[in-house]
Amino acid sequence: MRALLLVLTAALAVAVPSLAASKDPEADLRHVQRQIEQLQKSLREDVAKRDRLSAALREAEERVGEARGRLDDVRQRVRATDRRIRELGAEREKEEARLAAERDALAAELKAAYVTGREEHLKLLLSQKDPAELGRMLVYYSYFGRSRAGRIAAIESTVERIEALAADEAAERERLAALETERAQELAALENARADREKALADLNATIRSREDSIKRLKQEAATLEKLIEDLRRALQQAPAPEGKPFARLRGQLPWPVPGRIVARFGQPRGGGLKWNGVLVATERGAGVRAPYAGRVVYADWLPGLGLLLIIDHGGGYMTLYGHNEQLYRQVGDPVAAGEVVATVGDSGGQSRPELYLEVRKGTAAEDPRRWFRGAPR
């Protein structure tokens, strides 16, 4: 009996390896993340060894994404600086209007004092018979004097404020000029990176001399993706279940990650017996790819045929895949919220135009995305 219990215990430990780990979900996540990162690294090394031209295309397209990211960052800083200049200009104009009003008020008081005469207090003293009324008049005059002194101090303060705003505005304009120069440099770097990408793509296409070569490459790319999905599926068996509504209940309710037009449908033939396992959505370059539902990034790297690829695990064995991106904003292990922008659309992977490739997987089985998303992408 004791031997039987030992055998059953060992079998249970093998069949359910995550029972002990489930007591510490954070440790489980870190373990899974390390597994996926190693998987991602091994895949990059394998592609580099197996296909030198694909590796060159990957490097070129990654440089395009990096250059685009730097250019976008400079453009954001240019917009922020330009907005700051407008704010400073508006504030300076407001202070100048206040200064003009203060100067007009002071001029009116000085004119009244001049009309009264230089010896206004002495005249007042000699012309008054009632001491009480004289006292009141002297108090009024003291009020007028303090008012004039206050206006003068306010004018001096406003002038100082205007000078400070003008200095800040000048500094911001210098900063804007420097940013414009930086923007031009980053734009040139982006154009150079895209030229390198076109050369790498031309070199790769030059090796495809026939339809058979094209189909062979498609099959290699499809096999690479299927192996990746299977490896991820095994690694995610130890991941703790995410919180929130199960993904399986969201069929037909998800928003499309990008607006656009479907140009390749699920199940449509691709040649050589291959079919599309997802949909291809033509859209604008740089369009933000929004996560349709909460989850965690389990892959964020370049893959032959799909370019810069992002995969989100939604729990319950469900994953969504996003290919041909120009930039990836998230890394392996990052949590994502529904509606969060996780990437931007591009033409990586050798595409001739900006498109997003979208898949929905249950385990290793691909499902038609149109059954999961509402209506048409818009």
Bridge partner residues of 345 (DSSP): 325
Work out the pLDDT band at 2, boundaries 50, 70, 90. very low
pLDDT of res. 127:
55
> CB neighbours of 308 closer than 8 A, spacing ≥ 6?
61, 62, 65, 301, 302, 323, 324, 325, 326, 327, 328, 343, 346, 348, 349
Q: For 71-93, write each residue's pLDDT tens digit.
A: 888 888 888 888 888 888 888 88
301 class by beta-carbon count within 10 Å (0-12 exposed, 13-18 middle, 19+ buried)? buried
Q: What is the pLDDT of residue 10?
A: 43
Over residues 182-212, the pLDDT tens digits come to: 888 888 888 888 888 888 888 877 877 677 7
Task: Answer yes or no: is pLDDT of 11 > 60.
Answer: no
The pLDDT of 230-258, averaged and rounded, is 88
The pLDDT assigned to 136 comes to 52
Distance CA 66, CA 189 (A): 10
* Token pair listed for 37: 């990162």
- Mean pLDDT of the chain, nearest integer: 81
pLDDT-above-70 percentage for the chain = 80
Bigger pLDDT: 112 or 276?
276
Please answer whether residues 310 and 325 qualify as being in contact, where contact means their C-beta atoms are separated by less than 8 angstroms: yes
- Res. 344: pLDDT tops 80: yes
pLDDT at 114: 61
Distance between CA atoms of residues 314 and 167, nearest Å: 53
Q: So what's the pLDDT on residue 1?
A: 38
Instruction: Tally the C-alpha atoms within 13 A of residue 8's C-alpha that lie toward its C-beta.
Output: 5
**What are the start-end ranges of the E strands in the chain?**
261-264, 269-271, 274-275, 279-282, 288-290, 295-303, 307-315, 318-328, 335-336, 341-345, 355-362, 365-367
Measured torsion, CA atoms of residues 205, 286, 45, 229, in degrees rounded to the nearest 10: -100
Q: Which of 8-22, 44-58, 67-81, 147-161 has the lowest mean pLDDT?
A: 8-22
Provide the pLDDT confidence category of residue 3 given band limits of 50, 70 and 90: very low
Q: Which of 257, 274, 251, 277 is nearest to 266 (CA)?
A: 277
In this prediction, residue 322 has a pLDDT band, given cuts at 50, 70 and 90, of very high
The CATH code for residues 73-201 is 1.10.287
Q: Where are the domains of the chain?
A: 73-201, 210-378
Q: Is the pLDDT of residue 112 over 50?
A: yes
Residues with Cβ within 8 Å of 213's Cβ and at least 6 positions away in sequence, in order, are 207
Residue 268, both tokens? 């449509």
How far, in Å, CA of 81 to CA of 96, rounded? 22
Chain-centroid distance, C-alpha 349: 22
Exposed / middle / buried, residue 193 (Cβ in 10 Å: 0-12, 13-18, 19+): buried
Q: Which residue has the tokens 């407001």?
A: 94
Q: Is the pLDDT of residue 311 over 90?
A: yes
Q: Is the pLDDT of residue 279 over 60?
A: yes
Q: Which pLDDT does position 257 carry in this prediction? A: 97
Alpha helices in 117-241 (DSSP H): 120-127, 131-206, 211-235
The owner of tokens 């990052």 is: 334
Q: 336: closest CA among 358, 361, 319?
A: 319
Is residue 346 within 8 A of residue 285, CB to CB? The reply is yes
CA proximity to 137, closest of 148, 152, 122: 122
Are the beta carbons of 274 and 219 closer than 8 angstroms?
A: yes
**Cα–Cα dist 262/281, whole Å:** 4
pTM: 0.69
pLDDT of 101: 80
Non-local CB neighbours of 320 within 8 Å, separated by 6+ positions = 291, 292, 293, 295, 311, 312, 314, 358, 359, 360, 361
CATH class of 210-378: mainly beta
Rounded mean pLDDT of 352-378? 93
* Angle 311-313-318 from CA coordinates, rounded to 5°: 110
Write down the pLDDT at residue 131.
Answer: 55
Give the pLDDT score at 9: 43
